[in-house]
Structure 1
């Protein structure tokens, strides 16, 4: 179908536009060769002034690297997302990876004498002028490919609206600029280089730049595999990508394709018979969605975490804006740690327990001990902006600097930090401490590194589960999660050491060191209080998975790592991200913690989540009855640490109580074992068969190992005070 009459360029317009080319070519002839061409003064040109203008221009155009999209890969090399600026949706490919038929089609319709002429082609311009005037529209191009490349390059380099307008301004001066640059380019570069650069630069419509991306967008193939039909369609698009867009204007695209095929036959590039056969076929599109960013990724929030992580990497640029520009225009290959099988298990586990529209958020993070590799991140609220469907752009699984969520209180999962500190200081595993149903504690009994007290003074503490004997040891007090036992244990360790241990294990706590108030006194962190062991700090599932991975790795802490390497567009590795690990506790301490925490799954609150291999973990519930804003279970095998969380939150993410809420269609009573642990189990039971079946190392050298019997100490003497009162004496505490 021919274009509507109203859309056709008038013959006078065509003549004017191509006339400019002829005139400019003549003027340039004066500049280059000094020959006086008779029509050099057409339309009032002053040849001398034009020549002076040309001489004042830079001799060469800056040939900066073409902006192109970056690709994010999973741990097996599968693409999980691409990111790009709107004008950088391209993948640069060498000429040998472009179909010869595509090259022939483009040259036939745009510049068939490309390899015979220089920067200018006066003969081709005159030929196009005559052809187009006769056709009543623009059928053939008048500019050479080199001239077009100059224009495309100038347009890409323009930074402001004014600069872009100057590049597209239909003036003689602009044409002269392009011609000067074109001559310089032809002198400096080979014809193959120019053609390759052009095919990777030109716009093909639908937000696609370069022939490789166009081939993927319209036909789901690569530039190397383009056939005659596909090549003719793409070559025809170059003249007017909007008007001939095959997805929006299929009939126009067919007409334009046939023009290209006829031109190829006219030039004997293909036989007329083959051209006619191809013209009888349909467009045969296989359009692909060109996703930009993480929204459509099968690991959306992991993808978001990767980008935020890299934007914080100062080695990639001086400012965050520079780093973001590099990520969207640098043609990087970003290799990550996510395992899509693990990711799928995490997604299914969370979605199966918490609905997107529930007044709660389910979240899961999975980290590999010994490397810090983040294998999967999932949350119940999917990525998006439709709040009615429960969507959000907040990443609740990662620390606030990567996802803008402040996190949620972690509850009794923090008891593990006090437990580890006590063991590191030599406390036997069978040491007994008082564990009454309720107790009145004194803030002054808790050593806190010299920080200024908050003024709690005397405060009550109670248990959600009562002690059968009134005393517990490290095994039973942990397995039953007895609050009063751990407040007494924290008297022995102090607050500072467990606090610092948690930080060294990856928990992002407020650091008060060196901070003073207006009176000059050192200020205590809001988390570094006697209630620290009860998990009053706001944290993310990723932080807790990272921390507990330290126990699994026998005391070696590794920073969470979502990226393994960055490569440039040519495949050269720009940066590697090796594991960053530090031994933060002795191996025997970690072994002892593992031995204690195994009891939480083997006969403890999370026994329903037992796996086919050894596993350990800790439940966590925050707040009192009816007020619990979040519940947790953080568990691990020797080779995978997983933190699961369910937090009450309205559509804005503001914390609310969980008790009484309807979650996944059921009204709940909040507990870590009842809400969070099943999410952990659902994910881990899918992947545990793929994990090496390793054993925890038994802490045979740690005093009290394996002895879970509880010794009830005698009442403390009035003069015992301090450590003696709290533990009933070290000898009596061991029950020996």
Structure 2
């Protein structure tokens, strides 16, 4: 007569088994009670109490969308970065190889399609086996129960207490899982649950879900997994760390072979095939999935995209909600970057300013007429090592945390534009002595004369004739000429124009006489955006790094249309272009940077040489280059005496920043259309301009008819908050009294009948110095 298993156990083990049998009976009683089927006589009060506690749990387990990795794409649809908290790509069951499905079911829950939420046979077998072994030898959880556990962990969103509760080694946790599993099986099909399971579980080495695991370990899609690959992946689920094939190949091989043996034992595959595959190596072709902007060839453009989207309330109620969508939503983010332009910018910046220099070099590229940001580059790459940084010096502070740099004489273009707009002829001359002493009261602000009894004594750093005209004074960047010109134009209009053209962080504290020499800290992207307005004949377009975002199923969540407004009459912009062409033309300060097609630009150098600039453009691309002194601690300091790109040399906008712009544009020029600038008419500009009339309170059709009758193009800007009666025009942009040329664009905004709620005033920035010298 054969001996039973109990005959071989010591008396203590026999007693323990009897306890396990009673526990199983209790579990069964609770299960049945939880299913609302009468059951009596199983441990009486204790079982009823457990059952009541289970009844208190929610009936349904919310299965939120699984975290998936997001792709950031360039303008041509190529991936430039992936963003994720969990590297996962969801796939439907039909796109997972049948062999993989068979392998996971065989090793984890071979009776999956025969039992309900709980595999009673499997649970009892596991309880006895584990009790006999004095540890966990065999799992008793069904795939549905495992899915519940994994779902609770995933949806904990990093909450340590919630994760600990989901992993707690107790029968109470098992009962909670079971209740949720019952609900899942009632609500969903077996195939749905298996698909969700295969997309949820962690396979190790950063790969979540079967698609990411297939790509990571074997460089194939889940639908193409073969038997050898499927057996390995199926084996990893039990303990992804212990069996990680990239670190523990021997243990991973043993585990894979267990899966193959199990498949053969269940007649899923022949014994011969199992033996043949077991004799083979693991066959890994590990492909790492880069995470974050640090791995992108457009690092700081990518960072700008993320920071820009984080400000969009349409993507979430707060920063954390938006971040979760961006990093876990499986989005496709289509951007405006051109990788050819980006490489040209990267190469040029890197060759002119080294990463370990005590200086920052940067270049921003933007497309006139659309606002599309085509590239951002800076000399210090992204990272924590020496010569690396996470500060994005190329974009406004709110998107990159860097404070910007004083722009020097690049601000003279705003005074020039205002002068032309005020009918000051390009041929008019102003005195330009080497040094000039003026009373600050001689300058007009938006609120009247500048309130100061002090005098100011600017001096020239360049030479010119005694009384240059607007062409010579601008092309030679004569400081005293522009001081006298600003006395004519006032400070208010140039300040307002700079804000309208993209220098949006200017405050009234910047309305100072030295405005024309550059008084506010700005970024290269802001300056490129502003000068792109000249290139687009006065049409200003907000910088736009993203065109649309789509969800994991390809559904477009939001399109980001270009946002453009005519802020300068086209004849005025054309006249500015004609003046600034001389800077890049033969004999100009930046003639060496001529890219081989029509171009214009302006240099900028601050008094103490803390920053030097060149902002230039063709009719179809604008770019702003800067080199600025930065201490090891990140504070602004002079460039004087510092080695830049291996040499100590005199610095200026034309000789230091100009070559960054020039070398990049000489490469990019091959992809740009050879479009000429529109030359200004010799006729008096005053005679070409038309005043925009008031159309507030009129119907859209009436307002459009009036404006088109004057020769303007009309664009619908959408609905805005306004006290004007609903469905009538609230205002136009440019507004009443603005002077434009025939063919210029006027945008109409329709009132929704709701007055705009005023917000509290923001803190003002302090004026940091008195500007530039050239």
Do Structure 1 and Structure 2 share a fold, with TM-score over 0.5?
A: yes
Residue-by-residue CA offset, 1:12-50 (whole Å, 9 max, x unaligned)? 9x9899979945652345424747698x54xx9822222
Q: Match of 1:46, SS? A: helix
Structure-to-structure mapping, 1:453-468, within 5 angstroms: 453=450, 455=452, 457-467=454-464
Distance in 2 between the 1:593 and 1:67 partners? 51
Displacement, 1:335? Answer: 1.3
Residue-by-residue CA offset, 1:696-728 (whole Å, 9 max, x unaligned)? 1111255499xxxxxxxxxxxxxxxxxxxxxxx
| Counterpart among 629, 636, 652 of residue 648 in structure 1 | 629
Tell me the residue number matched to 1:315: 314
Q: Which moved more, 1:340-349 or 1:651-660?
A: 651-660
Structure-to-structure mapping, 1:493-642, within 5 angstroms: 493-512=489-508, 525=509, 527-603=510-586, 604-623=588-607, 627-642=608-623
Cα pair distance change 1:341/1:139, threshold 3 Å: farther
Displacement, 1:447? Answer: 0.8
Tell me the residue number matched to 1:470: 466
Structure-to-structure mapping, 1:714-733, within 5 angstroms: none
Distance in 2 between the 1:84 and 1:481 partners? 49
CA contact (8 A) 1:429 1:703 kept: no
Residue-by-residue CA offset, 1:94-120 (whole Å, 9 max, x unaligned)? 112212211111011011121121111
Structure-to-structure mapping, 1:200-279, within 5 angstroms: 200-279=199-278
Cα pair distance change 1:570/1:324, threshold 3 Å: same
Q: Is the counterpart of residue 664 in structure 1 residue 664 in structure 2?
A: no
CA contact (8 A) 1:588 1:702 kept: no
Structure-to-structure mapping, 1:344-423, within 5 angstroms: 344-386=343-385, 389-423=386-420
CA contact (8 A) 2:443 2:450 kept: no
Cα pair distance change 1:66/1:694, threshold 3 Å: same
Displacement, 1:399? Answer: 0.5
Q: Match of 2:294, SS? A: coil
Q: Match of 1:461, SS? A: coil
Tell me the residue number matched to 1:486: 482
Q: Match of 1:398, SS? A: coil
Tell me the residue number matched to 2:712: none
Distance in 2 between the 1:456 and 1:16 partners? 100
Residue-by-residue CA offset, 1:645-689 (whole Å, 9 max, x unaligned)? 000111222111112211011111111110001000111111111
CA contact (8 A) 2:407 2:612 kept: yes
Cα pair distance change 1:415/1:33, threshold 3 Å: closer
Distance in 2 between the 1:250 and 1:15 partners? 37
CA contact (8 A) 1:109 1:140 kept: no
| Counterpart among 79, 91, 96 of residue 98 in structure 1 | 96
CA contact (8 A) 1:21 1:143 kept: no
Tell me the residue number matched to 2:48: 48
Instruction: Report the TM-score when normalising by structure 1.
Output: 0.87
CA contact (8 A) 1:25 1:122 kept: no
Structure-to-structure mapping, 1:24-35, within 5 angstroms: 25-31=27-33, 32=35, 34=37
CA contact (8 A) 1:110 1:140 kept: no
Displacement, 1:579? Answer: 0.4
Tell me the residue number matched to 1:64: 64
Q: Match of 2:437, SS? A: strand
Q: Which has the higher contact order (CA 8 A, sep 6+)?
A: 1
Cα pair distance change 1:475/1:162, threshold 3 Å: same
CA contact (8 A) 2:26 2:47 kept: no
Residue-by-residue CA offset, 1:353-386 (whole Å, 9 max, x unaligned)? 0001111110000001111111100100111112
Tell me the residue number matched to 1:430: 427
Q: Is the counterpart of residue 324 in structure 1 residue 305 in structure 2?
A: no
Displacement, 1:486? Answer: 1.0
Residue-by-residue CA offset, 1:191-247 (whole Å, 9 max, x unaligned)? 111011111111112233211222222223322222222211111011111111111
Q: Match of 1:612, SS? A: coil
RMSD: 2.4
Cα pair distance change 1:383/1:218, threshold 3 Å: same
Tell me the residue number matched to 1:82: 82
Q: Match of 2:204, SS? A: coil
**Equivalenced residues, count:** 670
Q: Point out where structure 1 has 5 or more consecutive residues left out of the alignment.
A: 1-10, 513-524, 706-736
Q: Which moved more, 1:60-69 or 1:606-615?
A: 60-69
Residue-by-residue CA offset, 1:132-152 (whole Å, 9 max, x unaligned)? 789997665321111111111
Distance in 1 between the 2:454 and 2:21 partners? 92
Displacement, 1:338? Answer: 1.1
Q: Is the counterpart of residue 175 in structure 1 residue 174 in structure 2?
A: yes
Instruction: Report the TM-score when normalising by structure 2.
Output: 0.83
Distance in 2 between the 1:509 and 1:237 partners? 54
Distance in 2 between the 1:190 and 1:692 partners? 58
Displacement, 1:292? Answer: 2.6
Tell me the residue number matched to 2:189: 190
Distance in 1 between the 2:679 and 2:498 partners? 23
Tell me the residue number matched to 2:751: none
Distance in 1 between the 2:572 and 2:450 partners? 30
Cα pair distance change 1:696/1:262, threshold 3 Å: same
Distance in 2 between the 1:224 and 1:430 partners? 73
Distance in 1 between the 2:318 and 2:305 partners? 17
Distance in 2 between the 1:399 and 1:658 partners? 22
Cα pair distance change 1:348/1:355, threshold 3 Å: same
Q: Match of 2:426, SS? A: coil
